Amino acid sequence: MGKRSQQGGTGANGSAGPLLEQAVRAVLTAPDEGLDLALDTGASLLAASPGQWQAVSRALLGYADTAVGRCWSAGWRPADLARVVRRELKPVHLALAVDLIAAENRRHPAAATDRRWQEQLRELETEVWWEGDETYLGAFAHRHRLDRFALATTLLELLRSWGRLPPIAAVGPAPGQGGPGGQAPRVERRAQGPVPGEPRMLSRVRALLAKAESTEYPEEAEALTAKAQQLMAQHSIDEALLAVGGEDRDAPAALRIGVDNPYEVPKTMLLDAVAAANRCRVVWAKEFGFCTIIGFDGDLDGVELLYTSLLVQATHAMNKAGSRQHLDGASRTKAFRHSFLVAYAARIRERLTAATEQATSDAAAGRHLREDGTEARLVPDERLLPALAARTEAVDQQVGRMFPKLVSQRVRVSDGEGWVAGRAAADRAALHGRAGEIRR
C-alpha cells in the first residue's frame, strides 16, 4: 500500500488545496454551454506550475476523501460510481475513478464495510499502487501518457460527474455508518463468487449454471437451469421456515445490478422475471443504467447468479439467430433482437415461475430437495405458506419505504419473427405468469 501523505501541501506557488477547490467549484457550477471554458481555465491553473504539481497531487487525494465520501453518504456504492463513469466518460476517467475510490478506502478497515461492498472493490481491482500521494499524479500521467493539462482536465471532468450525482436509495450502510440502528454491519453468512466458505447451495447453483452456459445441447441447458432454479426456490423455502422458527433474523435487503444499452428494456424484463420467480422486486433507474433488486439476502445472491447466466445464454442465442433485413435491403436487426429478447424474457418468466410453484407445492406436501440435488420426505409444515406470504409482504413494504413513487412501463414489440425466435430460444435455454411490468 502506498504511503498516505499529509493532506494539502504547499508547492512553489503556495497551497494547492484552495486552488483545486476553486477549479472544481467552477466546473461543478458551470452551465453546459460554459463548461469548456471552465475546464480550460481550471486545468490551466492546476497544470501551470511544475513546482506545484506534487502539491496538487496531495490535494487531489485529500479532496477525494470528501468527494467520494459524499457519494457514499448519498447512497452510491463503488460499482455505481464506476458505472456512471463508464456511461458518461472515457477509460482514462475510469482508471482515475478507481484510484480515487482506492485512495478514499484507506480510511476504512474491512470490518467497516459490508460483504458486497468488499466484493465491488475486488471486482474494480482497487489498489493503492503509487508510492506517495505527492507522486500520484505524475505516476498516473506517465502510466497513461498524459500531459499535465490533459490530466487536470480529466480529473475535473470526473469530479464534475460525481459532484452532480443526486441522492439515491441506499442498498446498505456506507463505510463506518453501521447497519440498522447505527450498529456495526453484521457479518453476513453468504458469499458471492467461488470462494472458500460459500454455501453449498450457491456453489451448486453456480456449477449448474456454468454447465448450462457451456453445453451445446439445448435440452441439457434447460434441465440444468431448471434444477438451479429448483435449488434456489428450495433454499428460499428453508430460509422462510427458519425465520418462522426464530432462528433467522434476516430482513429484506437490496443490491444494484447494471443494465445498459443496447436492449436495456428487455434486459430489465429478464431481470424482473428472475427476481419475481425468487420473491424479489425490481426497480429500474434508467437514467443511471441500473436496477435495484429488493429481497432477502440469499434470494438476491441467486437472482444475480441466474440473471447473469440467462443473459449469457440469451445473448448467445440471439447472436446465433443472426441479422435480419427488410425486403428493400434495410437492416431490421435491432427490431428483431429487441423483440427476440422481450419474448425470451416473457417465456423465461413463465418457466421460472412454474419451477418455483412446483418447488413450493412439493415442500408443502413434504417433498424436500436437498442441496446435493437428492430428494427427501418430510412431515408437511403448515407454517410454510404463511411464512412465504410474510416474506413477500416484507419485501413489498421495503420497496414502499425505499421507492414511495413508482411508475410502470409497458413494452411493445415490433418484429413478430423476433418474438417467435426469442420464445423458442427461452424454451431451449431454461425455465408461469404474464410478461409483467417494469417498475421505475
Q: Where do the domains of the chain lie?
A: 10-163, 199-439
Determine the residue type at 327: L
Determine the residue type at 353: T
* pLDDT score at 189: 36
pLDDT category at 314 given cuts 50, 70, 90 is: confident
d(CA 49, CA 311): 50
Rg of the Cα atoms in the chain: 25
Is 307:257 a contact under the CB 8 Å cutoff?
yes
Angle at which helices 148-163 and 136-144 cross, to 10°: 110
User: Mean pLDDT in the chain?
Assistant: 81
Name 369's Cβ contacts closer than 8 Å, sequence gap at least 6: 230, 231, 234, 359, 362, 375, 376
Name 421's Cβ contacts closer than 8 Å, sequence gap at least 6: 321, 336, 340, 343
pLDDT tens for residues 101-151?
999 999 999 888 888 999 999 999 999 999 999 999 999 999 999 999 999
For the chain, helix, strand, coil in percent to 5 are: 60, 10, 30
pLDDT category at 276 given cuts 50, 70, 90 is: very high
Using the predicted structure, report yes or no on whether residue 16 has a pLDDT greater than 90.
Answer: no
Using the predicted structure, report yes or no on whether residue 57 has a pLDDT greater than 50.
Answer: yes
Cβ atoms within 10 Å of 260's Cβ, excluding its own:
12
Q: Strand order in 253-258's β-sheet?
A: 253-258, 290-295, 281-285
CA distances from 354 to 274, 360, 362, 396 (A): 12, 10, 12, 21
d(CA 389, CA 237): 11
C-alpha cell at 341: 429478447
What is the number of H-type helices and E-type strands within the chain? 15, 9
d(CA 229, CA 213): 15
C-alpha cell at 186: 453484521
For 79, what's the count of Cα atoms within 13 Å in the CB-facing half-sphere? 17
Using the predicted structure, report yes or no on whether residue 414 has a pLDDT greater than 60.
Answer: no
C-alpha cell at 388: 412465504
d(CA 265, CA 286): 9
* pLDDT score at 246: 63
Give me the residue label for grid cell 437472482.
303
Backbone phi, psi, residue 279, to 5°: 60, 40
d(CA 153, CA 44): 9
* pLDDT score at 14: 47
Name 320's Cβ contacts closer than 8 Å, sequence gap at least 6: none
pLDDT tens for residues 191-205?
334 444 456 778 888
- Greatest mean pLDDT range, 56-70, 172-186, 365-379: 56-70
- Cis-peptide into 262, omega within 30 deg: yes
* pLDDT score at 9: 39
SS3 state of residue 375: strand
Using the predicted structure, report yes or no on whether residue 3 has a pLDDT greater than 50.
Answer: no
- The closest of 275, 267, 319, 325 to 296, measured between CA atoms, is 275
pLDDT tens for residues 200-228?
778 888 888 888 888 887 778 878 888 88
SS3 state of residue 384: helix
